[in-house]
Amino acid sequence: MTKTRRKFLTETSLGLVGVAVAGAQQQKPGEPPAGTPPAFGTGPAVGPEVSPVTFAEAEKVVQVEMSPAHREMVAGSWRGNMAALYERRVGPHKVAIESDVAPYS
């Protein structure tokens, strides 16, 4: 079957309208594209407070040495940088399901 000019022009016009509508849905300025993972160290601060003394004691356990300046830096940024890893170790969030909810079938 051959396409008529009328059908060709109709399909082409609809295609151009679809592209125009899709182009109008732009992302907001300063917002990352949808689906991108968060940047390292930008998460909310979670976990226990730590101090440089905590890292000095940990150095003995794992047998490494850090300078006092490094200990200060690590203690200050630990909660934000390790938030995602700490959250993973805590485990999945528990969701309460009422007893009157029917099971999925």
8-state DSSP, 35: T
CA-CA distance, 78 to 46, in Å (whole number)? 9
- 3-state SS assignment for residue 77: helix
Per-residue pLDDT of the chain (105 residues; tens, 9 = 90+): 677 888 888 888 878 777 776 665 666 777 777 777 677 777 777 778 889 999 999 999 999 999 999 999 999 988 888 766 766 666 667 788 888 988 886
Q: Are 54 and 75 in contact (CB under 8 A)?
A: yes
pTM here is 0.47
Number of H helices, E strands in the chain: 4, 0
Residue with structure tokens 């109709």? 10
